[in-house]
Structures are given as C-alpha cells and as structure tokens.
C-alpha cells in the first residue's frame, strides 16, 4: 500500500472478512516440492537488528518531489541522482532520532530493466543495478537492514511498475522473461546480508487480483487486472520456486493485503508453499490482537505496514499514532518479529520539522 493514494483498507474492511474467491470454482495450484539444491539448508536465523522500524517505501527528491519506483534509474530528473542525497538525509534522520534499524524498501525491479514492449525483459541496466548496490551500502553504513519489495503494481506510468499483461496467458515470453530477470537479480543480490527478507510481490492478491476491489485499467491509479486467485497464486509459486533456487539461503515472502488480519482465524491457503515468513499489513483505527502464532504454522512474521484506516485515520496524527502505539506495545506478546510504521500518507517525521506524533511513538518504543 506504500505508494498509492487509495481507499484500500476501507474496501478490505468490507470485503476481506469473507472467504477468498478462488476464481469461478477453479482449484488453487498446489506447491510442488523444491529440488534438493533449492532447499533452505543452513540458512541464517530470521533475526532483525531491532523490532521496530518504518515501512519507508522509496526516497523522494531533495525538494520532496515524489519518485516512487523510479528512484534507482539513471535520470537526473526522476532517478538516483536526485534520490541519493534525500536517501542519505532520511537515513541520517532515522538513525539519529531512534526510529529503529529496519526499513521496508520498495525497488520495483522493472525500473532496472531494459524492456522490449513485445517480449519484455531484455537485460538489466548495469548502472542502475550499481545504484541499488550503492543504496544498500548506505543502509550498511547506518547499521540498518531492510526488507526489499521486488515487484510492485500500483502506478502504471512508473518505470518500476510490473507489466501485468505478462500473466494474461497471451504473453508467455514476457512471463518467462520476468522469471529469468528475477533469477539473475537474486543470484547477484540474494546473499546480501543487508537484506533481511525479500517480498517478491507487494500485496499480489490486491494489485494483481480482486481483494482490494480495484477497477480494471484503463483508469486512475491504483488499478488491477483482477486476475483470479488461482492465476495470481500460480505466478507466486513460479516466483517463489525461481527465487528459492537462485538464493537458497535467503528469506522470501509475498506481503498480505490485510486479509490475514481481517479474517480471524486467517486463511493461509493462498500463501501455502510460497512464503518463508509472513508480512501482514494492518490499517485500523481500532486495532485488535490476533493469535497469529497459532495460525501461521510456526513461521515468523512481521507487521510490515501498520497505521490507522486509510482515508479516515492514516493522515490523522492522533488516530494514527494510537494505532501504531497499539501494535508496538503488543508485538512481543503476539510474537511479531517487528512492527513497521507506515510512512507514506502518514505523519511520521519531517526533515525540517522533526518527529510528528507517530514518529514520537516509534522513537519512544523500546
């Protein structure tokens, strides 16, 4: 949800409490066993440098202009040259004000690709891959770690937006190209210790599927092609298998569209065999604890986006700070590995104005 201005949480409060539509009665694809070479043996424990942090998203420019998933491109107007100084300033501020040592960082892998409109992925731009490496070096220098969002589909005009036609059944070369691109990327970066875990697709059942009630394109962002759950899950399983074989010791997930919160107990069937840890997103003015330890099969989980209701609460400093404070104060008892406060659309901090109410709550948390 990080990059969009939408009413997703309001829609989900009404729709996600019902059982998932598997798409016209189609059965969900079943995960196949991984080859032995792709099994996560001798993997480092799922450990974080702090149990609080920010769903940071992506840096803006030094003047505050929105970049979204364009921020790593080699463009003097909307890429790494204007993003780098702002990223440095943000990291300095977050570190000096005690906002935790964990960030959730959106990449949007498409922005790093040389793209053919008919065949899809051609190759990576080497300079833009180096820009990403520089960004991770900056995180290292601040003794922080990140969760990285690999693919995202929110702003269709963005260079980093996933080309969802790759999954429509009519573009097999484009679909295969994406998997090849993922394999290449993770063979280079998958062992990077800066990255705690890789979110292979941000909220896929919303941004590719039907969970968020988004309209189909063309239309104002955010849109979704409204693919069925089996179609989305088939893509997730292919992504996970590719990722696991490219970087067997890394941790992978697909972030949840708040359904694991609104449904009690949660339905994990849509994620079975495709996640090593869960990333749960919660937007609620009146949050309620859930017994996720008993329902997530023993896998670790983070609350990767938390805040008050989108629309009525996220921009309200009083409501939002109370919602974030609730999850920070309950995280240990609930077994959450980390709580990341939503930054986009919420008042957390200003480089000039300092900490806002939500930022003060995060800074005060132990």
A 10 A CB-CB count for 290 gives 20
**Rounded alpha-carbon distances, angstroms, from residue 110 to 114, 115, 229, 251:** 8, 8, 23, 21
Q: Supply the mean pLDDT for the chain.
A: 92
In this structure, is the dihedral angle defined by the CA atoms of residues 1, 329, 104 and 189, taken in order, positive or negative? negative
Distance in angstroms (rounded) separating the CA atoms of residues 213 and 206: 8
What would you report as the CA-atom Rg of the chain, rounded to the nearest whole angstrom? Answer: 19
Structure tokens at 193: 């210790």
In this structure, is the dihedral angle defined by the CA atoms of residues 213, 276, 329 and 149, taken in order, positive or negative? negative
Place of tokens 């829609």: 11
Q: Is the peptide bond prior to 222 cis by the omega test (within 30 degrees of 0)?
A: yes
Three-state SS at 279: strand
Whole-model pTM: value is 0.93
Distance in angstroms (rounded) separating the CA atoms of residues 3 and 202: 11
The residues that bridge with 340 in the sheet, in sequence order, are: 53
Answer whether 341's CB lies under 8 Å from 362's CB: yes
User: What does the domain layout of the chain look like in residue ranges?
Assistant: 49-364
For residue 94, what pLDDT is reported? 98
Which tens digit of pLDDT belongs to each residue from 279-318? Answer: 999 999 999 999 999 999 999 999 999 999 988 899 999 9
Contacts of 309 by beta carbon, 8 Å cutoff, 6+ apart: 9, 10, 13, 283, 284, 285, 319
Lay out the sheet containing 145-149: strands in order across: 252-253, 195-199, 145-149, 102-106, 52-57, 339-342, 301-307, 278-283
Going residue by residue through the chain (366 aa), what tens digit of pLDDT does each one get?
A: 544 433 333 333 333 333 344 445 789 999 999 999 999 888 999 999 999 999 999 999 989 999 999 999 999 999 999 999 999 999 999 999 999 999 999 999 999 999 999 899 999 999 999 999 999 999 999 999 999 999 999 899 999 999 999 999 999 999 999 999 999 999 999 999 999 999 999 999 999 999 888 999 888 888 999 999 999 999 999 999 999 999 999 999 999 977 899 988 888 999 999 999 999 999 999 999 999 999 999 999 999 999 999 888 999 999 999 999 999 999 999 999 999 999 988 889 999 999 999 999 999 999
For residue 26, what pLDDT is reported? 85
Strands 339-342 vs 102-106: parallel, antiparallel or unpaired: unpaired
Q: ∠ at Cα 148 (153, 44), nearest 5°?
A: 140
In this structure, whether the domain defined by 49-364 belongs to CATH 3.10.450.50 is answered with no
Pick from 245, 244, 247, 211: which is nearest to 229 by CA? 211
């Amino acid at each position: 949800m990080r990059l969009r201005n939408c009413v997703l949480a309001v829609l989900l409060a009404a729709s996600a409490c019902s059982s998932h539509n598997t798409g016209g009665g189609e059965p969900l694809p079943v995960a196949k066993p991984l080859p032995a070479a792709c099994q996560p043996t001798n993997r480092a424990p799922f450990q974080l440098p702090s149990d609080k942090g920010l769903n940071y998203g992506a840096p803006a420019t030094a003047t505050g202009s929105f970049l979204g998933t364009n921020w790593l491109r080699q463009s003097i107007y909307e890429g790494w040259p204007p993003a780098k100084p702002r990223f440095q300033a943000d990291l300095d501020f977050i570190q000096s004000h005690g906002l935790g040592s964990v960030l959730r960082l959106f990449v949007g892998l498409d922005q790093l690709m040389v793209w053919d409109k008919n065949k899809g992925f051609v190759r990576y731009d080497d300079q833009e891959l180096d820009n990403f490496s520089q960004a991770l070096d900056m995180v290292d220098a601040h003794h922080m770690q990140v969760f990285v969002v690999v693919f995202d589909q929110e702003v269709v005009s963005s260079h980093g937006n996933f080309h969802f036609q790759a999954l429509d059944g009519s573009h097999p070369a484009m679909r295969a190209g994406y998997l090849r691109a993922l394999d290449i990327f993770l063979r280079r970066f998958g062992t990077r210790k800066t990255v705690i875990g890789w979110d292979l697709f941000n909220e896929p059942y919303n941004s590719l599927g039907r969970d968020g009630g988004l309209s189909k394109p063309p239309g104002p962002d955010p849109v979704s092609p409204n693919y069925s759950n089996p179609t989305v899950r088939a893509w997730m399983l292919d992504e996970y298998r590719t990722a696991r074989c490219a970087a067997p010791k890394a941790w992978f997930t697909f972030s949840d569209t708040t359904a694991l919160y609104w449904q009690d107990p949660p339905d994990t069937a849509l994620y079975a065999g495709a996640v090593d840890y869960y990333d749960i997103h919660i937007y609620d003015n009146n949050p309620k604890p859930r017994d996720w330890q008993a329902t997530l099969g023993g896998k670790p989980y983070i609350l990767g986006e938390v805040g008050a209701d989108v629309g009525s609460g996220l921009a309200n400093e009083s409501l939002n700070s109370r919602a974030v404070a609730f999850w920070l104060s309950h995280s240990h008892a609930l077994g959450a590995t980390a709580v990341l406060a939503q930054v986009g659309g919420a008042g957390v901090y200003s480089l000039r104005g300092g900490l806002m109410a939500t930022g003060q709550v995060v800074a005060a948390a132990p």
